[in-house]
Amino acid sequence: MSSPRLITILAPAYKEAGNLPRLIEALGSMADAMAEAGEIYEWEFLIVNDGSSDDTVTVLKGLREKDSRVNYLNLSRNFGKEGALLAGMDYAKGDCVVIMDADMQHPVSAIPKMIREWEKGYDDVYGIRLSRGKESWLRRRLSGLYYDILQRTTRVNVLRNVGDFRLLSRRAVDAMRSMRESQRYTKGLYCLIGYSKKGVEFETANRAEGRSSFSLAGLLSLGIDGITGFTIAPLRIASVIGLFVSVVAFVYLVFVLTKTVFFGEEVRGYPTLLCVMLFLGGCQLLALGIIGEYIGRIFNETKGRPVYFVDDYNGDKVTSDM
């Protein structure tokens, strides 16, 4: 018999000291239950500590001492979830990688289902949120609107209600790792890589402890990254509006000139003038802002900086960035 395949469970953790012991325990019993049912795998529970300021590091050290399946990676500071995920993918050893949140919002019970789909040959088994857990009305509406915009303007089909809870095969992980852009929108990248996909439904739980570290502003910024990272539709919309306004202005110009030539003109029209000026000024500023967003991205990407730096892996200092 060939040796059992290795499954990596990857969870980014930022100030999750209260949740990690629970997570590791739940994962451990899930793995044991699968082994009892005759589904034999080797396991790696890889936690990426994204520069937490609480005692996540100590907790992780303790967990690794108790359970050798636990591996942990300490980043040199807080890089954000997207950066932490890339770091985790770089260090994951598994034949497949299950990505999940460390706050117990993603049910461990869905993992065996995902693994079974992977065994059938799917490369990307994503979790479909049946409900979104405790979330404000505003956040839910904004999220719905956002996916509408994203789906209409991009060529990749960004799946709705699909989050970061998913299983990726080795080649899908390698595809993800090959994209090193620094303003990452991982959710979109999953869709970009293609490969055979399959959904598994799960019920989102509420956060076990602590609170979400994504503010509305943080989500907004991630949202803008999502759009500017995947489509140049806003630039095109700006051009179309510009073209439209120019055509209308030209027609009006012909009209005004003809009128003046044949019927003369009694000066007046200050309000019209002011409105037109303000409107055009607004359009120009908007277009400039959109262009600015993209130039900002170009600026950030051309620097080619690494997405993250590692402090230590399982307590061993890491000297270079890989």
CB under 5 A: which stretch of 69-77, 99-107, 130-138, 140-148 binds Mg ion?
99-107
How many C-beta atoms surround the C-beta of residue 207 within 10 A?
16
- Closer of 52 and 169 to Mg ion (Cβ): 52
- Closer of 133 and 281 to Mg ion (Cβ): 133
How many C-beta atoms surround the C-beta of residue 281 within 10 A?
10
- Per the CB < 8 A criterion, the answer to whether 11 and 49 are in contact is no
Q: Which of 49, 105, 186, 204 binds Mg ion (CB under 5 A)?
A: 105
- Closer of 41 and 214 to ligand UDP (Cβ): 214
Pick from ligand UDP, Mg ion, none: which does 13 bind, CB < 5 to 8 A by kind? ligand UDP
- Closer of 32 and 135 to ligand UDP (Cβ): 135
- Per the CB < 8 A criterion, the answer to whether 77 and 51 are in contact is yes
Structure tokens at 127: 């979790």
Q: Which of 7, 12, 59, 183 binds ligand UDP (CB under 6 A)?
A: 12
56 binds Mg ion (CB under 5 A): no
- Closer of 31 and 87 to ligand UDP (Cβ): 87
Pick from Mg ion, ligand UDP, none: which does 82 bind, CB < 5 to 8 A by kind? none
* 99 beta partners: 10, 166
Pick from Mg ion, ligand UDP, none: which does 16 bind, CB < 5 to 8 A by kind? ligand UDP
**Shortest Å distance, C-beta 12 to Mg ion:** 11
Q: Which of 213, 283, 297, 301 binds ligand UDP (CB under 6 A)?
A: 213
Q: Which of 212, 235, 237, 313 binds ligand UDP (CB under 6 A)?
A: 212
Lateral strand order in the sheet of 310-313: 197-202, 124-129, 162-169, 96-99, 6-13, 42-49, 70-75, 310-313, 316-317
13 binds ligand UDP (CB under 6 A): yes
The interface with Mg ion within residues 267-296 (CB under 5 A) comprises none
Over the window 63 to 102, marking each residue x when it contacts ligand UDP by CB under 6 A and - when it does not, the resulting string is: ---------------x-xx--x----------------xx
19 binds Mg ion (CB under 5 A): no
Pick from ligand UDP, Mg ion, none: which does 117 bind, CB < 5 to 8 A by kind? none
103 binds Mg ion (CB under 5 A): yes
Interface residues with ligand UDP (CB under 6 A) are 11-14, 16, 50, 78, 80-81, 84, 101-103, 105, 207, 212-214
Interface residues with Mg ion (CB under 5 A) are 101, 103, 105
